[in-house]
Structure 1
Amino acid sequence: MTRARCAPDACPLGAGCPPDARLARRTRRREPVRSLAACGGRCHHACVTATLTPGTRSGGPRRWPLLGNLPAFARDPLAFFESLRDDYGDWVPWALGPQRNILVSRPEHAGELLGAVESSFRPTELGWAFRQLLGNGVVVATGEDWRRKRALVQPAVRPRQVRSYAATMVECADALVSGWRAGQRVDVHREMAGLTQRIAVRTLFGSDAAGREAPISAAMATAQRELGAEFRGLTLFLPPWVRTPGRRRMREAVAVLDREIEHVIREHEAASAAGAERDDLLSRLLAARDETGGPLSRKELRDESITLYIGGHETTSTTLTWAWQLLSGAPAARARLTEELEGVLGGRLPAYDDYARLPWTRQVVKEALRIYPPIWLISAVATEGATLGGRAVPAGTSVWTSPWSVHRDPRWFPEPEAFRPERWDADAPHPVPEHAWFPFGGGPRACLGARFALVEAALVLAVLAQRFHLDSGSDRAGVFPGLTLQPTGPVMATLRPAGPQGGNAC
């Protein structure tokens, strides 16, 4: 093998190196690769120092005709964004098909971008699959339509309302853990997904909708899987009338969701007409009125219900899955978690007010969200006269930022691959820059359900960790960047009793 430089769109973008070599390269992202051995000796491109020194190239990666950088993006978008940052710097032009893009990787640029959406930038058109699933809900809507919908939906997920859902979160978690037995093997992702699905259905639709969990959950899983596949493939550029097997599965799943949610809405309307009071999110949406006194339409109720379901289930289930996997390899963090839960709760179940009394539990969740942010990319389109970081951005250009890439940048987070909840201590030696942590986005279009998700994750973790540690051994699940960051397969773990004996079992 001859020592030739890597092609700009080859090894640096993940084409030549196997996944474990790419991981080794990313963990050394601020160190140049000096020989073939640095890629494990298996890369068919010889990587030399000059080609991999971070930020030394200019002009962005080489683009394929018509496709731009789609092949590298579709192959491994997480590695692609990290490679752009490492190899070309904090402001990198690239292309997704014919679309001109810029990737920004500095926290201040990310914060400025998020704050400018709905002013000098507009939200990116998310495509056919997103609109099939989310309709024109608050995540998709723009302009005055978005402002109206946000004003109607936001009161339902304010802290005062989240307080009323905390008991349901704890009750569902306690029911799950009561069925666990020491030594039992479980799929952590499946357990967390089932738990957060039950919480989402009960808080959104009420306890009497429990029988609809299975069809709603199955249809939602199919829709989200197909959405992720469409977003990363050539079908992203196909017009809506083009039919593919994936789009057929998406339509079928959405039809199930529409039918089930319509049934629940009718039940709520009948209960309201009969004078019954219900304390769930859908009831609050039904009662919401805009400044003209107008309610959400039937279609808007459907769209916001699905949006809130995804926010209340999908982000939390994956966050908890990753948190358990990270805790499995961090005995000191587990011990500190057990100590805090024993000291604050003393064996009782947590309540909403305990959320503020459990700082380490919150930091475990926050660190899991740093390493595995559910929203792994964000983009917005420049309007006429847009600027960012003092630089003009041509109208029509999509500016992207990646929480995954920013969260794993050693400039902002020393040892970025390490699970260190203590980095969030009030007296931590390396303060985190503003806008360097944004797992729920930011600015005016920040995720409405962020508070709900944070409280749910912390309270559920507290309930389960009082009784068990989930020992996944040395196994580590891969990451699939779909609608959120999903494990690539089952995350198997053995249930160990909490406490000194169980905590040392790993």
Structure 2
Amino acid sequence: MTRQAGPDAGTRATQPTATIADGPRGVPLLGNLPAFGKDPLAFFEQLRERGDFVRWRFGRGPALFIAHPDAIGELLTEVERTFDQPDLGIAFRTLLGNGVVVAKGADWRRKRSLVQPSVRPKQVRSYAATMAECAVSLADRWADGQRIDIKKEMAALTQLIAVRTIFGVDTAADAESIGRAMDIAQKEIGAEFSGIGAVLPDWVPTPGRARIKRATAVIDAEVSRVVSRHRDGDTERPDLLSRLLAARDETGARLSDREIRDETVTLYIGGHETTSSTLVWAWHLLSRNPRVREALTEELDRVLADHEPGYDDYAALTYTQAVVKETLRLYPTIWLITGIAKEGATLGGAPVPAGTRVWSSQWATHRDPRWYGDAETFRPERWLTGEDGEPAEQIPEYAWFPFGGGPRVCLGTRFALVEAVLVLAVLARRYHLDLATDDIRPVPSLTLQPDRDVHATVRARG
């Protein structure tokens, strides 16, 4: 089956019947956790080199790493049937509660039905103007020759967009505090997930867990304040929070205050943290690849001419979309997905014992040379179609899955793609950003983040 390359399409790879290879030897009690915790991205690439199905041990528990796109597709499409959503730990639950990303079974289906209408294409269209307006405001503040920290600039921009589209206000009471709290929480979640905290019982206190609790308290206080203001208002608002407050399930029941809090935080992270890091990596890659940067600006000049981009321009900005997709290939914001095998689970025609934790990594599969020519090269053209309508590269389905897939695909996929494309179009149309250094390493925390501040010089075009 051949389809156009894109977020929901691809060609089916030819998957052999699963032959399970042995992973590296672990240590008593901890298994392969020390190697995983030291460098998760390199660890998954090493497993990929051993085969498409590799046994390893996450602490005492059995684990299976899968690298083949068809197996990944099986995992993603069979979740809720033969694979279960795993418990991602006390740190993750402290921040996200039991939101739609974490919930299971009937509870997940109910919450998904309530949240999904808020991020459908029709609603994303209504948010697009806010995305562009916020980006234009930032562009107006930049000046030729100015030195900026891209990481801070993109975080502040996407935070403003998130606050306006989710909460319907211009600014949170203390936007800087909530931003710092989010940074602390996601850093500590990454440390917990890849360190000794991953095998410690929930009741064991650690300094990292204490920091997450304090950061979450700051976030909760701000969300509670804004929710109270919305409940007290007597006018209908077009923001995400208002839609969540008005949503009713099939029995007529609304989301509880706790559920509103959990879904709001989940949407905030999806609309702020993930897009922010994607844009930072995009600027990093564009600075290193002048040819791609020139091709991008040529499209922006041709399609936009003398107007700022809006939702109706999104479909025509094909190269800009390709830049974003290629950025998400090389630096996927979400860098791993896991599931727990239930009775009767299979992958690649082979049975998977119940209780086995199955892992797949966007980082490892997105850089697999079997599916991508010059896999380490930033080449947006691979996502374009020719005059005959055929894709430039035949990319297998589920060889690109930055937003997951199957029934639990990220609800904010359309929101995130439109936001990244419009923000990039507004800013790249006016400026080039020249990074001070290429020596930036990805750090896998809750999302894939640069390991340092990213400084650049603003260069006005023309």
| Range class of TM-score, shorter chain | over 0.9
Shift of 1:227: 0.8
One-letter amino acid of the structure 2 residue matched with residue 234 of structure 1: I
Q: Tell me which residue corresponds to 2:4.
A: none
Give distance in 2, aligned partners of 1:490 and 1:209: 24
Give distance in 2, aligned partners of 1:208 and 1:420: 37
Q: Does 1:497 align with 2:460?
A: yes
Shift of 1:208: 4.5
Q: Pairwise mapping of residues 18-417 of structure 1 onto structure 2 (< 5 A)?
A: 58-86=21-49, 88-271=50-233, 275-417=234-376
- Secondary structure of 1:341 counterpart: helix
Q: Tell me which residue corresponds to 1:444.
A: 407
Instruction: Check whether the contact 1:93–1:103 (CA below 8 A) recurs between aligned residues.
Output: yes
Give distance in 2, aligned partners of 1:451 and 1:423: 21
Give distance in 2, aligned partners of 1:176 and 1:106: 42
Q: Tell me which residue corresponds to 2:11.
A: none
- Secondary structure of 1:211 counterpart: coil
Shift of 1:244: 1.3
* Unaligned ranges ≥5, structure 1: 1-55, 500-506
Instruction: Check whether the contact 2:132–2:308 (CA below 8 A) recurs between aligned residues.
Output: yes
Instruction: Check whether the contact 1:371–1:417 (CA below 8 A) recurs between aligned residues.
Output: yes
Instruction: Check whether the contact 1:347–1:466 (CA below 8 A) recurs between aligned residues.
Output: no
Shift of 1:430: 2.7
TM (norm. structure 1) is: 0.85
Shift of 1:186: 1.1
Instruction: Check whether the contact 1:338–1:498 (CA below 8 A) recurs between aligned residues.
Output: no
Shift of 1:195: 0.5
- Secondary structure of 1:178 counterpart: helix
- Secondary structure of 1:423 counterpart: helix
| Bigger Cα Rg | 1
- Post-superposition CA distance 1:426-450 (Å, at most 9, x none): 1354311111100011010111111
Give distance in 1, aligned partners of 2:190 and 2:184: 10
- Secondary structure of 1:243 counterpart: coil
Instruction: Check whether the contact 1:162–1:451 (CA below 8 A) recurs between aligned residues.
Output: yes
Shift of 1:236: 1.7
Shift of 1:277: 1.5
Instruction: Check whether the contact 2:383–2:392 (CA below 8 A) recurs between aligned residues.
Output: no
Shift of 1:407: 0.2
TM (norm. structure 2) is: 0.93
Instruction: Check whether the contact 2:338–2:357 (CA below 8 A) recurs between aligned residues.
Output: yes
Give distance in 1, aligned partners of 2:314 and 2:158: 18
- Post-superposition CA distance 1:293-316 (Å, at most 9, x none): 000000000000000000001110
Give distance in 2, aligned partners of 1:429 and 1:345: 25
Q: Tell me which residue corresponds to 1:422.
A: 381
Percent identity (aligned): 61
- Post-superposition CA distance 1:130-167 (Å, at most 9, x none): 11000000011000000000000000001100111111
Please give the root-mean-square deviation of Cα atoms over the aligned residues, in Å.
1.4
- Post-superposition CA distance 1:68-96 (Å, at most 9, x none): 0001000000000000111x211000011
Give distance in 1, aligned partners of 2:163 and 2:69: 36
Q: Which runs of 4+ in 1 moved over 3 A?
A: 208-212
More contact order relative to length (CA 8 Å, sep ≥ 6):
2
Shift of 1:498: 2.3
One-letter amino acid of the structure 2 residue matched with residue 321 of structure 1: V
- Secondary structure of 1:480 counterpart: strand
One of 411, 417, 423 as aligned partner of 1:460 = 423
Instruction: Check whether the contact 1:328–1:473 (CA below 8 A) recurs between aligned residues.
Output: no
